[in-house]
Amino acid sequence: MGSGPVIISAQLEIPDGEIVERFVRASGAGGQNVNKVSTAVELRFDVAGSPSLPEPLRERLLARRDRRMTGEGVLVIDAQRFRTQDRNREDARERLAAFIQAGLSVPKPRKATKPTFGSKLRRLDAKRGRAQIKRGRSSRDWE
């Protein structure tokens, strides 16, 4: 039923057997075909249980806050932008590849830093200056 593995990178590909595709009727404005043909694709990929994904990548993908991810770690992609089943299937697979590629980049760890002494002084001077301006206002200025 599938159209071959989804290539993510030179070292990583998702075999067809790990992807579940279901064809459903597309929602939206109708036409002569919309109620008869199932052109929309619902693609499901079990991120939590996939043996193809390396463990660090799996953890990064599961940690992402994405509305398409179920509580069990299954990614659900609905594709219904196009009028044909084949084009919607390609679109869903491209979106799956893009989702996984986004998890390939390892985020740079943040280093905790302290503000410099000079920046602290400048901030406090600006606060004092602003307070001075506000102190100079009277209630008559607002009428």
Query: What is the domain extent for residue 28?
Result: 4-102
pLDDT of residue 31: 63
Total domain count, the chain: 1
pLDDT of residue 6: 76
pLDDT of residue 57: 84
- How many Å separate Cα 31 from the centre of its chain? 32
pLDDT of residue 113: 93
pLDDT of residue 124: 96
pLDDT of residue 104: 82
107 found inside a domain: no
83 found inside a domain: yes
Residue 7 main-chain phi, psi, to 5 deg: -85, 120
108 found inside a domain: no
18 found inside a domain: yes
The residue length of the chain stands at 143
pLDDT of residue 29: 66
pLDDT of residue 137: 83
Residue 42, helix vs strand vs coil: strand
117 found inside a domain: no
pLDDT of residue 136: 84
Residue of 37, 10, 20 lying closest to 93 (CA atoms): 20
Q: Residue 75: which CATH number? A: 3.30.160.20
Low-confidence ranges of the chain (pLDDT < 70): 1-2, 28-36, 139-143
Cα distances (angstroms) measured from residue 10 to each of 7, 86, 107, 129, 133: 8, 25, 21, 59, 62
61 found inside a domain: yes
Q: Which two tokens stand for residue 3?
A: 């159209």
Residue 83 main-chain phi, psi, to 5 deg: -90, -15
pLDDT of residue 34: 61
Output the pTM of the full model.
0.66
88 found inside a domain: yes
124 found inside a domain: no
Q: Find out whether 107 and 77 touch, Cβ atoms under 8 Å.
A: no
Residue of 19, 17, 1 lying closest to 94 (CA atoms): 19
